[in-house]
Amino acid sequence: MKLKFYNTSAFIAILITVAFLSRRQVCLAQCGHPRIDFINEDILDLDDFYKDEQQAGMLQNYFNNNVGYTAAHTPIDPSPEVIQMSAIAQLYDIARTQATCNPCVTGLRIIFGMRLNKMVFFYQPVFMCYDISQEGYMVNSSVLSQYYRYNTTTKLFEPVMQDTVTAYCQYYYDNVYIDHFEDGNYAPFTHVSQDVDWHGDTKSIIFSFQELFALYEANYPNESAGNRYCEDVIIRNAAAYYYRFKINKDRLKHTLYVKTNGDGAVLYAANLAHLCPPSCNQLNYTAQ
């Protein structure tokens, strides 16, 4: 039996309508998250968390000029990771629901991996509880049992096996070379026995979710309630000098900064993050 369509234009119109509705449903499923207001968290002082375009450009140039691939220190692919903010909101939900202290601070750990000359990032939502005896926020290790990687097709974070993360991280450790003092002497990745040792090269970095959402909402203040967090954020490689007062010396280390997608941003980029090492398990924040 053959189907006949006597009104071709009407049939095409139906197909277009169905395709549009299907696409719209996908969009709403991915970016319909309610506004995050960080109830039950210590509200952090973020007065100095942002970087202007010139400062961010300097951090990126430090990376391009001093962090290389293999002993030949060839350039690392500068392509950033572009993530829809609603996916980051999903990781916030995981951290918030697993938090065992109230108030707490939630954060996103970004782990450094590499494949050939391109960085590969893995993600872990974490929460931090304030410890009076330590005078700092302690990262809860129970959340760290699950790793995620961003899928650019689905625009969602997907779980990743630890063996996969370990392999990519080891490749990074074996192949990244850094000119720590801009003197032309590139050194292989510096491992340290203690995760509080300032000399160790960066394995991961933690941003507070408060910082990430403050940056986003400053640049996209008019999103509607049903379509929130639909825009992208961009994670870029950077390098910066970190000062160790006990030996009166700076050391260039691999870091990241986060910016929103598009021109005319009110706040250009965010870089108030903690590097691991030395800040793997204890972070210092100033609460309001």
Per-residue pLDDT at 143 exceeds 70: no
To which residue do tokens 């290790």 refer?
Answer: 141
- Asked if residue 49 belongs to a domain, the reply is yes
Q: How many domains does the chain have?
A: 1
- Asked if residue 1 belongs to a domain, the reply is no
- Asked if residue 3 belongs to a domain, the reply is no
- Asked if residue 30 belongs to a domain, the reply is yes
The Cα–Cα gap between 76 and 175 comes to 11
pLDDT value at position 142? 60
Phi, psi of 58 (to 5 degrees): -65, -45
Portion of the chain with pLDDT greater than 90, in percent: 64
| pLDDT per position as a tens digit, 230-281 | 999 999 999 999 876 444 568 899 999 999 986 667 889 999 899 999 888 8
195, 149 Cβ separation under 8 angstroms:
no
- Asked if residue 230 belongs to a domain, the reply is yes
108, 91 Cβ separation under 8 angstroms:
yes
231, 208 Cβ separation under 8 angstroms:
no
Q: Average pLDDT for residues 206-234, to the nearest whole number? A: 90
Read off the pTM.
Answer: 0.87
- Asked if residue 257 belongs to a domain, the reply is yes
- Asked if residue 72 belongs to a domain, the reply is yes
- The average confidence (pLDDT) of the chain is 85
Q: Average pLDDT for residues 223-231, to the nearest whole number? A: 82
- Asked if residue 256 belongs to a domain, the reply is yes
List the domain range (segments joined by +) for residue 182.
8-283
Structure confidence at residue 33 as a pLDDT band (50, 70, 90):
confident
Phi, psi of 247 (to 5 degrees): -115, 5
